[in-house]
Amino acid sequence: MKTLADIKISTLDLVPVREDKGPAQALRNSLDLAQHVEKFGYNRFWVAEHHNMDGIASSATSVLLGYLAGGTSSIKLGSGGVMLPNHAPLVIAEQFGTLASLYPGRIELGLGRAPGSDQMTARALRRERSGSADDFPEDVIELMKYLGPRTADQKVIAVPGHGTNVPIWLLGSSLFSAQLAGQLGLPYAFASHFAPRYLHEAIRVYRNHFQASAVLDKPYVMLGVPLVAADTDEQADYLATSVYQRILALMRGQSLMQRPPVKSMEGLWLPLEKEAVGSFLGLAMVGGPARIRAKLEVLIEQTQADELIFTCDLYEHADRLRSYELLAKTVLG
């Protein structure tokens, strides 16, 4: 049985944007955060592909990863994830093959089958591409071939790309990718930071369908976890109101620009909205070190996850840094 001492911790950065700072500062903050969590002992730092969202600046994921890699030295960097239906597999192989050639041993490729946007934006991204989420399994296999060793009869190659063997992860918030990751023998990351409802079933499906591969001899599960850690429970509860307002805005179709914390959410949401935000953030770790540790111990006992990847979208960048620092001290010592 795994305990908290057995797991690795990582960071998922959504590169949150404040209205008074803009995307440029958000991107600089992302690098600063990557540099700090590298020092804190985190295992990996991922950024996610989202589009047409004014409060998230990580849309050009591979470009951002190059910026982050150039400013760090050892932490693993990857996509959490690239939304493969938006791209031709060859293009992604070339992009990540380039990154892997420049920063060997540090680049990872997490793949999702959702568009990472609304349907109108998805059409704008794809234009004449005929691909869809239904093609995801075939696209993953095609991409794996481009990144693997070149075969004698291979007519199309990724340069850079072939032979880099960039590690591929499958990401998901439902059961489809869990089953596919198991069948392909790939590591699996579940998006429990926003969709915890199917968490336990997805882990079960992945482990039950797992087949050993050249990549893995046994299942490897990473879980997304929202984080608001502070020096006291009361301070964390206060800071978390920024996160609640952001999720509420997402549900209402409003701007996702970061909002400052408030003393109380009363009057800002309806009872059903409060319940919906609570469900969205069902796995959130909010509190001081003791409360966070207790909740994490329960999560690991219940899931036996191998790794947790935390997202923390606080209004003040300094509070985000402190949150990740406290978590590292709590888990890593």
Residue 126: CATH number of its domain: 3.20.20.30
Residue 233 lies in a domain: no
Residue 322 lies in a domain: yes
Query: Residue 124's pLDDT is what?
Result: 65
Residue 87 lies in a domain: yes
Residue 118 lies in a domain: yes
Q: Can you tell me the distance from the alpha carbon of 327 to that of 329, in angstroms, rounded to the nearest whole number?
A: 5
Query: Residue 134's pLDDT is what?
Result: 76
Residue 289 lies in a domain: no
What residues make up the domain containing 153? Answer: 4-226+304-331
Query: Is 229 in contact with 217 (CB distance < 8 Å)?
Result: no
Residue 168 lies in a domain: yes
Beta strands in the chain (DSSP E): 8-13, 44-47, 76-83, 107-112, 168-172, 188-190, 221-229, 285-287, 307-311
Query: Residue 37's pLDDT is what?
Result: 98
Count of domains forming the chain? 1
Q: Can you tell me the distance from the alpha carbon of 71 to that of 319, in angstroms, rounded to the nearest whole number?
A: 21
Which portions of the chain are predicted below pLDDT 50? none
Residue 279 lies in a domain: no
Q: Can you tell me the distance from the alpha carbon of 288 to that of 326, in angstroms, rounded to the nearest whole number?
A: 8
Residue 146 lies in a domain: yes
